[in-house]
């Protein structure tokens, strides 16, 4: 996780809640949708990796070195902020 993001997350106290849900939300405890995502900017370094022959590991390593927040990390941040459940993040990112 990028240092700036990590510092922001570590500076707060969090509680992980479990929403009981109801019939309207199919017992998920949510209303609406929340996006959990990752995005990376195509840089010269990433372009070089792609041209020279890439593996998923090389791309992920370079993208995270450049500060990309992974989908799982974004999900955990949203769990800590009370926006989504841990179960949903684990289900979506495994």
Per-residue pLDDT of 7-56, as tens digits, reads 777 777 777 777 777 888 777 777 778 889 999 999 999 999 999 988 99
Mean pLDDT of 50-79: 91
Q: How many domains does the chain divide into?
A: 1
> Residue 43 is part of which domain span?
3-93
CA-based end-to-end distance of the chain: 18
Cα(60)–Cα(46) distance, integer angstroms: 10
């Amino acid at each position: 996780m990028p240092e700036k993001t990590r510092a922001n997350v570590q500076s707060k106290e969090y509680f992980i809640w479990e929403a009981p849900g109801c019939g309207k939300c199919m017992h998920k405890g949510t209303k609406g949708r929340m996006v959990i995502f990752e995005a990376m900017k195509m840089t010269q370094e990433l372009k070089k990796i792609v041209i020279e022959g890439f593996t998923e590991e090389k791309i992920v390593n370079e993208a995270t070195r450049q500060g990309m927040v992974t989908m799982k990390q974004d999900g955990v941040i949203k769990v800590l902020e009370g926006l989504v459940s841990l179960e949903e993040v684990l289900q979506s990112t495994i």
